Chains A and B, each alone.
Chain A
Amino acid sequence: MSALRPMGSERWWVWLFLLPTLLGLALGTFGSIFATIGLSFTNWDLLTPPQWAGVDNYADLPAGRMFTKAFWNTLAFSGLYVPLTVVLSLVVAIGLNRRIKGIGWFRVMYFLPAVCSPTATGLLWNWIYAPDNGVLNAAVTAVGVSPVSWLGPRMALYSIVVVNVWGAIGGGMIIFLAGLQAIPKEYFEVTRLDGATAWQRLRFVTLPALAPSLFFQTVLTTINAFQAFDYIYVLTSSGNGNSTMPTLVFSIYRSGFRFFRMGDAAAQAVVLTAMIFALTLVYFRLQKKWGEA
C-alpha cells in the first residue's frame, strides 16, 4: 500500500499537477459562488459599477410577481418530481435486476432518454402534447373524453413533471442497479431459507442495503429539480422570454441578463442555493437516523 503514497520530492509534483484543477475550483467555482453572494447585496446593471443595496434585493423578493410565481412553481415541480423520480427509478431498477432474456435491451430502453438531447426529445413531447394533432389528445378523444390543453396553464405543471421524470428514470436506474448488484446474494438466500416474503426481503434487506444509493440519488434529483430548465424551456417558453410555467431558473436569467438586474438575479440564485442546501441537510439527518435505526 505504501508504494502508492507520494514520497519526498514527489509530493511537490503531486501538488504541481493538482494546481490547475485546484485553482480552477477555487477561482471558478468558489470564486463565482462568493461573487454571487456579494453581488446579491448590490444593485448592479452590468454596465455601471455595483452599488451597495444592503438586503434590499432579498427584502423585495416576496413582492416580486415574477419571482413569487417562479418560486411556487419550482417548489410544486420539485415536490412532485423528486419522489416520483426516485421511486420510479428504484422500481425499474429492481425490475431489471434479474436474469431474464433480453435484459440488456430493456436496460438500454430505460436509459435511452438520459442520453438523448432534451431539445430533440422536447420537440417529440411537444407533438405528443399538441392540442389538435397530438398523440395524447387523439388517444383521449378516442375514448370519448374531450381534448385537454396539456401545456396550458392548468395542466402544464403535471405534463412537465411527466417529461422530466421520464428523462430522469434512466440515470437513477443505473445508480440503483449498481447498488442492487453490490448486495451479496447470500443475504437473499438466507432470508429466503428463513421464509421471508418478497415484501420482507425488500423492506429488511434491499432498502437498508441501498440506503447510500437512495441518499445520493435523492440529493442529486433534488438539485436537478431546482435547476430543471431544458424540457421546460422547449415545452413552455413563450415569445417574450417567459414561460407558461416559469421556474426560478427562468426568473434568474430574465432578471439578470434581460432586465439589467444582476443584483436581484444574484439574490434569487442565493435563495435557490439555500433551498437546495437546506434540503440536503435534511436528507443528511434522515440518512443518519436511518443508518442508526
Chain B
Amino acid sequence: MKLLKATTLALLLTTSCAFADTEITYQFWGSPQEVGVWNSVARAFETEHPGIKVKIEASDWDSYWEKLKVKVAGGTPPDVFAMDAPLYKDWQSRGVLLNLKPYLDKEPGILDGVYPLTLKAYETPDGFYGLPRDFQTIVLYYNKDMFDAAGVAYPNDGWTWEDFRIAAKKLTKDKDGDGKTDQWGFWEAGYDMEPFWGALVWSFGGEVVNPETHKTLISSPQAMAAFQFMSDMWLKDKSMPSEQQLRQYGADGFFAGISAMGVSGHWSVPEYSQVAFKWDIAPLPKGPAGRVTSANSAGFVIAKDSKHPNEAWEFVKYAFGEKGQTELAKIGLAIPVRKSIAERPAYLDQSTKIDHSLYIKALDYAHLKPVFKGYEEWSGAVGDALHMAWTGEMKITDALAEAVANGDEVLARSK
C-alpha cells in the first residue's frame, strides 16, 4: 500500500513537471507601485504566450545591484533584468549579457519608431546586448508659489543661465527673519553629472569625457566656466543650500519646499505630484553654447546564462513593443521609448497636469549621458573631488584638477 502511494505520488510529480510552464524571472529596481504595473504587463504577456510564466522581482536601487552581482557571479542570474544605461558597459564588457543580434535580425522593423538617442546607448560593434526600456531628459522644476511671493517672473524659453542665477538670488530668503536662510533659489547635490553639472558643462561649450573615454575633459576653459558658475551660486550667492543645510530638510530640496527651483528628470513627477505647493516645468536655461540637456535611459538585458533565452526574448519583445510600452507608461516615472506611445495620450495625458511633451522636445537638444566601462567608479572619483569644492574645503580649480587626475586613473584602469 505504501509502495503504491509512493509510486502514484512520484508519477504525479513527474507528469506535472513535464507539463509545467517555463518560468522566467524579471528583476528590476523600483517601488511596489511599479511592481503592480509590471505584474499586469506580465499577466497580459502570459495570456498571449501560454506556457511562459513571468516572475516579477523588485528591490531598491542599492540592494538591486548587490543582489544582481551576487546572483550573476553565482551562476543563477535572473533571465531578464533592468540596466541603467551608464552602467551597461560594466556588464556587457564582462560577457554576462546575451547578444540580442540573432533575435533582432529575425524581427525586421522592431527598432523603427524608437527614439534613436535611446538606442545609441546599447549599440556595440557586434550588436545590441540590451534594449532601452524607457528614458529620461532633464528639465527645470519651479515652485510657482515661491515665484509669486517673490514677484519673480516664471522661467521661460528665453532664459539663460545668467537669468537663472539672478532669479535664484532673488528667491533666496530668510522668511522667518531669524538671520538664517530658510528658502533657497535652487538646490542640487552636485556629485554625478546627472541631473545638473553635465548639462551645464555642455551648454557652456565644454565636454565631459572624450569619445574614446580615456580622458576626463571637465577642466577645459569652457567646463571650468560652468563649474565656476555653479561654485559662485553655491559659495558666493549662497542661493543653494549646502549639503549640511539640505540634510536638515531631507534629500530633495524641491520636494521639501525649501528651494524655488530644481533640475530633475521625469522620475520626480509622481513624487512631486504629492506636494502642497503649485509647480510647473520649463526647459533648462541656455548657456553660451546654447541649450543642452542630459538624456539617459533604463534598459532590458538578458543574462547570457539564462536557461530560457527564447522565452526571455519573447518577454523583452513584448515589453519593448507597443502593448508593453503603453501599459508601462502608466507608471508615470519615465518616458516610453516608442514615439507612437510617447507622443500620444498614453504618455501625454497623465494625472499630473504639466506639459509632458517638454521632456520629449528636450531630446532635440539632449546629449546622451556617457556609457562606458567603469562609469560608476569614474563618477565616484570625480564626485568625491567636486564634493570638496562644494563644501569649501578646496578651491574649485584645485578640485577640478584632482577630479581629472582621479577620473583619468579610473579610465586608464577600466580599459
Question: Which residues of A come within 8 Å of B, CB atoms?
Answer: 45-48, 65-66, 126-127, 130-134, 149, 151-153, 238-242, 244, 254, 257-261
Contact = CB atoms under 8 A, between A and B. Distances in A.
24 contacts: A45-B94, A46-B73, A47-B73, A48-B94, A65-B406, A126-B248, A130-B248, A133-B248, A152-B244, A152-B391, A238-B243, A239-B189, A239-B191, A240-B192, A240-B379, A240-B380, A240-B383, A240-B387, A242-B383, A254-B380, A258-B377, A259-B374, A260-B94, A261-B377
Nearest to B248: A130
Contacts of A149: 242, 244
Nearest to B69: A46
Given A45-B94, A257-B65, A257-B66, A130 B247 contact: yes
A259 B248 contact: no
A47 B391 CA distance: 36
B180 interface: yes
A35 to B, nearest CB: 13
A73 B248 CA distance: 25
A47 B180 contact: no
B65 to A, nearest CB: 7
A239 B61 CA distance: 13
Contact of A66 (B95, B243, B384): B384
Contacts of B180: 132
Interface residues of B, number: 37
Nearest to B385: A65
Nearest to A134: B248
Given A153-B393, A261-B377, 4 more contacts: A66-B381, A133-B248, A242-B387, A260-B377
A152 B244 CA distance: 7
Contacts of A46: 69-70, 72-73
Nearest to A254: B380
A132 B180 CA distance: 7
Given A45-B94, A240-B191, A242-B383, A132 B72 contact: no
A160 to B, nearest CB: 14
B245 interface: yes
A259 B181 CA distance: 38
Nearest to B383: A240
Contact of A259 (B91, B182, B377, B387): B377
Interface of B: 65-66, 69-70, 72-73, 90-91, 94-96, 180-182, 189, 191-192, 242-245, 247-248, 251, 374, 376-377, 379-381, 383-384, 387-388, 391, 393, 406
Contacts of B95: 47-48
Contacts of A48: 94-95
Given A131-B245, A132-B180, A257-B69, A47 B384 contact: no
Contacts of A258: 65, 376-377, 380
Contacts of B192: 239-240
Contacts of A240: 191-192, 379-380, 383-384, 387
A256 B34 CA distance: 29
Contacts of B96: 47
B384 A242 contact: yes
A73 to B, nearest CB: 13
A153 B94 CA distance: 38
Contacts of A239: 189, 191-192, 251, 383
Contacts of A152: 244, 391
Contacts of A257: 65-66, 69
Nearest to B405: A65
Nearest to B90: A260
For the complex of A and B, 10 pairs with smallest distance between CB atoms? A259-B377, A240-B191, A47-B94, A240-B383, A239-B189, A46-B73, A130-B248, A132-B180, A153-B393, A131-B244
A244 B388 CA distance: 9
A153 B388 contact: yes
Nearest to A127: B248
A259 B380 contact: yes
A47 B69 contact: yes
Contacts of B247: 126, 130, 151
Contacts of B243: 238, 244
